[in-house]
Amino acid sequence: MSITNSIPEISQVDRHGYLFGFPIAHSMSPLLHQTVYDSLGLKWAQYPLESRDMSLFLELIKHPQFYGASVTMPHKVAILQHLDGLTEEGRDVGAVNTLFVQEDASGNRLLMGTNTDVIGIRDAFAYNVDASKYHNRPALVIGGGGAARSAVYALKKWMKASAIYLVNRDAEEVEAVIKECTTRGYGDALLHVHTVAQAQQLDDVGAIVACVPNFTPQTAAEREARNVLECFLQKSHKGALLEMCYHPTTWTEIAELGQRAGWEVVLGTEALIYQGLEQDRYWTGREVEQLPVDKVQEAIARKLDEARL
């Protein structure tokens, strides 16, 4: 198939992986991981595989020097049926973004899946924000897609959210998130906040995770959702806001609103970086503290600056 012609000769490296998804032209995953490998002196590479062809991917990863893969849309759920096992995060979230290889007691090769998106959200807060700002307080998630589900999981499992308020322009998407999270065992204390009047009656939040594209509200539903967010931002307690959107700009309307209201703003590139470092923890066997975090942050920042020129 023609896609194989775009993959460099894997004999040029000791081990190789893939970024599998469609589209992936703007992904910074190969840059992130190459920065890690170069810094560690590893002759490894992650090759982009922009394809919808699952059968091709499954054939390519049979190579004995394959170490793992980043998996993005539209394959995060479809890949599950082809795996030999899942981590707790992969099982509970019901989608994986990372494949890694294990051996069983007999030396058989097992293809495992995990979800490091949830780790990226957790660690974006953990490495940048004093936990006292958000522990044992309600949290707010803006959005209704996969990132919102990952945020709910991270907030419930690790970030000690006492309740999670969900805000989105599409009520059906929110209800779908609540239903799925409840089915998977972490949907208690989720509340869809529809209106500003409702928001005014609720407790201050400590963590906000924004999981929507950067846009100016146009419809009535979009304006109401933005007004609900601003209501929480204006409450007396000022916590930390993670803006997951970083393309084409890291500084979004929501980030600006948060900063003006006195909130600590964490850029989405931090979640990107820490989910990628968690992937490399699985692949290299080294803890995140042993990985070149500063170099990765610098490489991603340079790439974003170049994109803005």
Mention the CATH class of domain 2-115: alpha beta
The CA-based angle 186-239-122, given to 5 degrees, is 45
Evaluate whether 247 touches 213 at the Cβ level (below 8 Å). no
Helix axes 268-284, 29-40, angle to 10 degrees: 50
For the entire predicted model, the pTM comes to: 0.91
pLDDT surpasses 70 at 8: no
Higher pLDDT, 308 or 225: 225
137 contacts 206 by C-beta, under 8 angstroms: yes
- The DSSP-derived string for 186-199 is --TTEEE---HHHH
**What is the pLDDT, as a whole number, of residue 309?**
61
In the chain, CATH 3.40.50.10860 sits at 2-115
> Tens of pLDDT along 133-184?
999 999 999 999 889 999 999 999 999 999 999 999 999 999 999 999 999 9
Residue 179 structure tokens: 């239903």
User: Has residue 268 got a pLDDT over 80?
Assistant: yes
Residue 156: closest CA among 184, 126, 189, 123: 189
User: What integer is the mean pLDDT of 288-299?
Assistant: 95
Q: What percentage of the chain reaches a pLDDT higher than 90?
A: 87
Q: What stretches of 80-116 show up as alpha helix (H) in DSSP? A: 88-93
- 179-197: b or e for each residue (b if 16 or more CB lie within 10 Å)? eebeeeebbeebbebbeee
Residue ranges matching CATH 3.40.50.720 in the chain: 119-268
pLDDT above 80 for 34: yes
**What is the band of 5 on the pLDDT scale with cuts at 50, 70, 90?**
very low
**pLDDT of 210-253, one tens digit each?**
999 999 999 999 999 999 999 999 999 999 999 999 877 889 99
In CATH terms, the fold of domain 119-268 is Rossmann fold (3.40.50)
Cα–Cα distance measured from residue 279 to residue 72, given in angstroms and rounded to the nearest whole number: 13
Instruction: List the alpha helices (DSSP H) in the chain.
Output: 29-40, 54-60, 88-93, 117-126, 146-157, 171-183, 196-200, 220-233, 253-260, 268-284, 293-308
Which value, to the nearest 10 degrees, does the dihedral of the CA atoms of residues 186, 188, 189, 190 take? 70
Model pLDDT, residue 66: 96
Q: What is the pLDDT of residue 250?
A: 85
Which residue has 């069983």 as its token pair?
A: 104
* DSSP 8-state code for residue 4: G
Element (H, E) at 20: strand 15-21
Residue 305 has which token pair? 């600056």
If you ran DSSP here, which 8-state letter would residue 106 be given?
T
Give every CB contact of residue 143 below 8 A, 6+ residues apart in sequence. 151, 168, 173, 210, 211, 212
